[in-house]
Structure 1
Amino acid sequence: MIRAKHAFRIALAICFLGGAVNGAQANAEIPTNDVEGARDNARIKRYEGSLIVHYEKLSYTDFSVPLGPLKASEDEQARDTSNNRVFVPEKKLDVEGTLTRIAYVTPTERSPLEVLRNYEDEITADKGEILFECKTEGCGGDATLSSKGGGGEMSLMMSFFHASDLTEDDFSTGSCALTSSIKDQRFFTAKLPASDGDTYVTVQTYTLLGGNYCEALVGRTVALVHVLEPKSRDKKMVAVGAKEMASSLGSQGSISLYGIYFETDKSEVKAESAPMLKEIAKLLESDPKLSVIVVGHTDNQGKFAYNVDLSGRRAAAVKKELVSTYKVNANRLTTAGAGMMAPVASNDSEEGRAKNRRVVLVKLN
């Protein structure tokens, strides 16, 4: 019995020491250099003495620029990917281009307000315009959360990304800076003019409350900067003509189309969809007996029911355009929304999500 107790104590001590070692290795540290591969965006400088702990650049993506505080969704049951009640800006601007996201840890004894004001000075010095500004609870949502948390209300940061979207290692300094609880949140949206189009900038500053592995950064101010620069989209999708559509419908029964465009979270067909719509009309004109199902598809961003509804509305909008503009007989077009149910690529990357956002024609008879 004594030997058994002794062995148990030894095992317990080993487990405790092992946990302590692992905890020490996992703790976030005060940064001494920028993370590898990171650099400032050319349009906006860093606050002096700050270091980059998170860096991400997407060559082409969409971005919602907040122009007002977050408001609770009218759908009280709507939840985000972390089971928070959905909050959206009461006013926003959806833009596309090159997105750079940078998180800086600023020097000690710098308040979120002081850092934010310096960024505003840079914007105005570059002939920019502050479009919206807020602080703490006035920004809407949960002002104590960064990108992590579930079962409550979305935070301002969650309108840009969630903790699950981050590529940082768990317990890293970058993860600490973007997932810890926060206080004294400050934020602004700005526009910088340029000859090739406007650049949009958002800056969010806050004090880290830290805890657990983030003790080293408790009380430090973090500046999260998003820069969306204009860029023409690379049109690399192969244009599908009426003949290719007919061939695929005959051999496979369906065909995916990528030349029909919509605004983010909207169902109105954009003007640049005209060439593809014209080819669909040609297809139906060439075979008077052919009827098709127009099926809308989305990526996995957002709730399941919402995406099914959105994809259905988009399919209906395609039908409406074909009927009203191209005089296609409405009886030859059936619409459906598949939402995120039939991906053709992984939703873990923007490239994969782009392939999943599509319109599919399915042969009906």
Structure 2
Amino acid sequence: MPRLALAVAAAIVFHLMPSLTAPAAAAAGDVTKSHDYPGIGRFKGSVITGYDVKDFDAATLQAAPFKDGKATDPRRVEGRISRIAYRTGPGPSILEVSRNFESQLANAGFETLLACDVDACGGIPFSETIGALPIPQMWVDGFDYRYYAGRKVENGRETYVSVLVSKNNDDIFAQLTVAERYAMQNKMVDAAAMAKGLGESGHIALYGIYFDTDKATLKPESRPTLDQIAKLLSGQPDLNVYIVGHTDSQGAPAHNLDLSRRRAEAVAEDLVRTYKIVRTRLNTSGVGFLAPVGSNGTESGRALNRRVELVQP
């Protein structure tokens, strides 16, 4: 083959090589406490603009184009839901960014359910069903986007994934949504179980107390567990407890120690204010990530480590 032909062929091969980088813990410009989804990564030069991971939530992905403005094969998945939005500066096209994600997902074992552009997907009505993170985390132009959905079954666990790529001015935005299907764990621990745990082990982990990421304000969903803590303490007037906050290892150690302490204090303050528990019965402490019960190297392990514990002195 002539040298010129060889050079052209080499250039084509180089151009088509995937541009997704290996998953990284964080990059300059990423939003706080965010990271790539393991095994997928990001398009080169991208920064994370939005990051939302729920241990249990629901996401709807489209496995087929719309017909007459309506979904024909929506897949609603309940389980662990990860939504990560990226921004890439001017240069690449929507198609290039999407194709790189599609190639990476194929390598990760996902089968393609749907890959389409605007008109083939179903236009604006289709783009409005994606569950995109809010502006400015993610921008979606209903007249200019590409969508991919895939599915993988591994070791009996079903995982769905979608990628929506669109544009705002010259910047490319991409949202990766990963939905790992599984049944919700029963995280409710009643007063009797708390008393049993304290009596047998001297402590009990509570996973029914919820905070927003990096916040120490109790969420309304925490009320049933707080009711049970109050029931335990009201039923045993001589019982004093330590309320201990725990975090995962994401973020600076000093920050996590302070955050875990503030979360423990938020629980104590609510028990005093709402249930009239005497404050001197409630000691508080925060140990950050220093007492893990799971691996901080995995999402499932980090979920176990984010907890509040009652400890009997």
1:240 CA drift (Å) = 1.3
CA contact (8 A) 2:205 2:307 kept: yes
Rg: which structure is higher?
Answer: 1
1:356 is aligned to 2:269: no
**2:283 alignment partner in structure 1:** 334
1:261 is aligned to 2:261: no
Larger fraction in strand:
2
2:295 aligns with one of 323, 346, 362 = 346
**Amino acid aligned to 1:356:** N
1:308 is aligned to 2:257: yes
> Partners in 2 of 1:300 and 1:115 — Cα distance?
36
1:270 aligns with one of 209, 212, 219 = 219
Identify if the C-alpha distance between structure 1 residues 348 and 31 changes in structure 2 by more than 3 Å, giving closer, same or farther. Answer: farther
- 5 Å matches for 1:34-49? none
CA contact (8 A) 1:237 1:258 kept: no
1:119 CA drift (Å) = 8.0
1:202 CA drift (Å) = 7.0
**2:195 alignment partner in structure 1:** 246
**Amino acid aligned to 2:276:** K
Identify if the C-alpha distance between structure 1 residues 200 and 281 changes in structure 2 by more than 3 Å, giving closer, same or farther. Answer: farther
Q: Secondary structure at the match of 1:226?
A: strand
> Partners in 2 of 1:275 and 1:233 — Cα distance?
23
**1:293 alignment partner in structure 2:** 242
- 5 Å matches for 1:47-86? none
1:115 aligns with one of 93, 97, 115 = 93
1:131 is aligned to 2:114: no
CA contact (8 A) 1:55 1:101 kept: no
CA RMSD for the aligned pairs? 4.6
List alignment gaps of at least 5 residues for structure 1.
Answer: 1-28, 33-48, 57-68, 74-79, 81-88, 104-110, 133-187, 194-198, 205-222
**1:235 alignment partner in structure 2:** 184
1:320 is aligned to 2:303: no
- 5 Å matches for 1:78-117? 94=52, 96=54, 98-99=81-82, 112-113=90-91, 115-116=93-94
> Partners in 1 of 2:255 and 2:31 — Cα distance?
16
Q: Secondary structure at the match of 1:282?
A: helix
Identify if the C-alpha distance between structure 1 residues 308 and 52 changes in structure 2 by more than 3 Å, giving closer, same or farther. Answer: same
CA contact (8 A) 1:277 1:322 kept: yes
> Partners in 2 of 1:233 and 1:274 — Cα distance?
24
1:311 CA drift (Å) = 0.3
CA contact (8 A) 1:259 1:276 kept: yes
List alignment gaps of at least 5 residues for structure 2.
Answer: 1-11, 36-46, 58-80, 99-116, 143-161
Q: TM (normalized to structure 2)?
A: 0.53
> Partners in 1 of 2:140 and 2:186 — Cα distance?
31
Length, aligned pairs only:
209
Identify if the C-alpha distance between structure 1 residues 335 and 252 changes in structure 2 by more than 3 Å, giving closer, same or farther. Answer: same
CA contact (8 A) 2:244 2:311 kept: yes
Q: Secondary structure at the match of 1:99?
A: strand
> Partners in 2 of 1:242 and 1:191 — Cα distance?
47
> Partners in 2 of 1:354 and 1:266 — Cα distance?
16
Identify if the C-alpha distance between structure 1 residues 303 and 287 changes in structure 2 by more than 3 Å, giving closer, same or farther. Answer: same
Alpha-carbon displacement from aligned partner over 1:137-156 (angstroms, at most 9, x marks no partner): xxxxxxxxxxxxxxxxxxxx
Among all aligned residue pairs of Structure 1 and Structure 2, give the percentage whose two residues are the same amino acid. 37
**Amino acid aligned to 1:99:** S
